[in-house]
Amino acid sequence: MTPAGLIQAFAHAFPQAAPLAGLAGGLMIGLAAVLVLLGLGRIAGVSGLLARATLLAESGPPQTLALLFVAGLPLGAWAMAHSFGAVMVRMPAPLTLVAGGLAVGFGTRLGSGCTSGHGVCGLSRLSPRSLVATGLFMGTGFATVALSHLVN
């Protein structure tokens, strides 16, 4: 299949896809990770920053910086929605959200980092531990989606 054919097939399969918005978002995440690494010498893992912002962790960046970083996540989403239009969000049942949140929180602690810490910062530093962690959470995500499609 030609590259043009692949693009057409992708556009047909995913009519709501916004690759340029995804690219812009990825660039902003990468820029934030670089700024935290160069400015503080620390990995911009959101779970670590959240733990520091809520005083669950005693070490890490200054709490004020952690609070600003964590507060910027929903504020950035709000600013984008108001600038470019809201995004349709479908949420699962509350029990599923709670169970998923607990599982992710447990996995984050068990794996010593979250998707941003391992997937963005760790892989860019060629960390073997992050390669394994990212492979595991991506594989688990793929399996979960496949299973949910079988059930629904």
Say what the pLDDT of residue 101 is: 82
What pLDDT is recorded for position 132?
Answer: 92
Residue 71 reports pLDDT greater than 80: yes
| Residue 67 binned pLDDT confidence (cut-offs 50, 70, 90) | very high
Name 118's Cβ contacts closer than 8 Å, sequence gap at least 6: 45, 111, 127, 129, 130, 133, 134, 137
The answer to whether residue 72 scores a pLDDT higher than 80 is yes
Which pLDDT score, from 0 to 100, does residue 34 have? 87
- Say whether pLDDT at 120 is over 90: no
Would you say residue 128 has pLDDT above 90?
Answer: yes
Q: What is the 3-state secondary structure (H, E, C) of the chain?
A: CCHHHHHHHHHHHCCCCCHHHHHHHHHHHHHHHHHHHHHHCCCCCHHHHHHHHCCCCCCCCCHHHHHHHHHHHHHHHHHHHHHHCCCCCCCCCHHHHHHHHHHHHHHHHHCCCCHHHHHHHHHHCCCHHHHHHHHHHHHHHHHHHHHHHHHC
| pLDDT, mean of residues 82-101 | 81
Percentage of the chain beyond pLDDT 90 is 9
| Stretch 118-135: mean pLDDT | 89
Looking at residue 61, what is its pLDDT?
81
pTM above 0.95, yes or no: no
How distant is the alpha carbon of residue 28 from its chain centre?
A: 12
Contact 66, 60 (CB under 8 A): yes
Does position 82 have pLDDT exceeding 90, yes or no?
Answer: no
